[in-house]
Amino acid sequence: MHRIKLVLFVLLFVSLQTQSLSKQLHHDPIIDGVLNRLDSLRLTSSVQESAVKGLLQRLIPTHFHSFEFRIISKDVCGGSSCFVIENYDGSRRIGPEIVIKGTTGVEIASGLHWYLKYKCNAHVSWDKTGGIQIASVPQPGHLPRLASKGILIRRPVPWTYYQNVVTSSYSYVWWGWERWEREIDWMALQGINLPLAFTGQEAIWQKVFKRFNISKEDLDDYFGGPAFLAWARMGNLHAWGGPLSENWLGDQLLLQKQILSRMLELGMTPVLPSFSGNVPSALRKIYPGANITRLDNWNTVDGDPRWCCTYLLNPSDPLFIDIGEAFIKQQIEEYGEITNIYNW
């Protein structure tokens, strides 16, 4: 428990640092280059608009016709991301009453949340922090109007990141699509545009390691069981709680594709996993010349070598580049060119 808190704290610290950094670096040519490239990968306006319409339908179906959504160019907000909320011009009785414009689907969704929260006193949260309370939203035809010109809210930092590398395992490992869909809706409403997408990575690793002549049995000794994925990914233990079945691996990969599709439809930039150097022990026999170090026991089950003391490939070894590159390429093959941001 102590350790988890420490990890959370460190990540929080890092994310605060990153936020202030991104503020300073906002007009750094390298950061601008990445932002432009990520913008160029974004799906069309109509795809993003209908994705937020879908979210509206799930969140508050009675008001499906009360809102109109439109993607706008960043030029409208001086080159940064923003949302704009305006009154709809025209008869209020049947059609839309409020127009929400945003530079991406996420900006529109966070504009919708802003309107529901500050104009209608609604509360949209996780189940354990109050859930979705929308009874205060007036009936269609009676939605609160905005002051004549409406409002424009600019995103203060380009990226809002979400999740650390253990939540995807400890908290979400048993989630199916329905629960994920709710979480992604929540993310969009909160303005999260840079979510971690760690699901299904073992299925990718299986394909990658096969090319490095690692057998299925070798991988059974390497992957952790479903509830211990984070521990095994970080090299704290191996094989414990496993092996992962072919069904599990296949289902997780399908789920990841669903998760990524929805994130992209909403205009988010998913953060994919990359290679940390943690390798199956069998790699030493296949590449005897590689610089692979055996780690000490890190608080694993009784210090038993069946589960403890994993292997780390030195990052300056050429094999590190080969495996790291193969992993990125395999993800591009599965998911397409969808991001430039990776985490390990």
Ligand X SMILES: *[C@@H]1O[C@H](CO)[C@@H](O)[C@H](O)[C@H]1NC(C)=O
Q: Near ligand X by CB under 6 A, which window of 16-24, 67-75, 217-225, 285-293?
A: 285-293
Q: What is the CA radius of gyration of the chain?
A: 23
Residues paired with residue 144 on neighbouring β-strands, in sequence order: none
**For the sheet containing 82-87, what is the strand order?**
67-71, 98-102, 82-87, 151-154
Smaller CB distance to ligand X: residue 179 or 329?
329
Q: Sketch the per residue contact string, 302 through 331, with ligand X: x for CB under 6 A, - otherwise.
A: ------------x-----------------
Q: In the complex, what is the shortest distance from the CB of residue 290 to ligand X, in angstroms, rounded to a whole number?
A: 9
Q: Does 293 bind ligand X (CB under 6 A)?
A: yes
Task: Return the DSSP state at 340.
Answer: S
Q: Say whether 187 sits in a helix, a strand or coil.
A: helix
The three-class DSSP label of residue 198 is coil
Which residue from 286, 298, 342, 344 is in contact with ligand X, where contact means CB under 6 A? Answer: 286
Q: Where are the alpha helices (DSSP H) in 119-200?
A: 167-170, 177-190
Position 215 contacts ligand X (CB under 6 A): no
Minimum Å gap between C-beta 316 and ligand X is 6
User: Do residues 107 and 83 touch, judged by C-beta distance below 8 A?
Assistant: yes
Distance of closest approach, residue 313 Cβ to ligand X, in angstroms: 8
53 C-beta neighbours (distance < 10 Å), count = 15
CB of 213 to ligand X, least distance (A): 4
Shortest spacing between CB 336 and ligand X, in angstroms:
28
Please return the burial class of 54, using the count of CB atoms within 10 Å of its CB with bins 0-12, 13-18 and 19+. middle
276 near ligand X (CB under 6 A): no
Q: Find the shortest distance in angstroms from Cβ 293 to ligand X.
A: 5
**Shorter beta-carbon distance to ligand X: residue 195 or 324:** 324
Q: Which is nearer to ligand X, 220 or 317 (CB)?
A: 317
Q: Of the candidates 20, 73, 171, 213, which one interacts with ligand X according to CB under 6 A?
A: 213
Give the number of residues in contact with ligand X, rule: CB under 6 A: 5
Between the alpha carbon of residue 167 and those of residues 190, 195, 196, 235, the distances in Å are 18, 12, 10, 16
The piece of 8-16, 108-116, 233-241, 286-294 that touches ligand X (CB under 6 A) is 286-294
Residues 6+ apart with CB under 8 A from 282: 214, 215, 218, 221, 222
Binding site for ligand X (CB under 6 A): 213, 286, 291, 293, 314
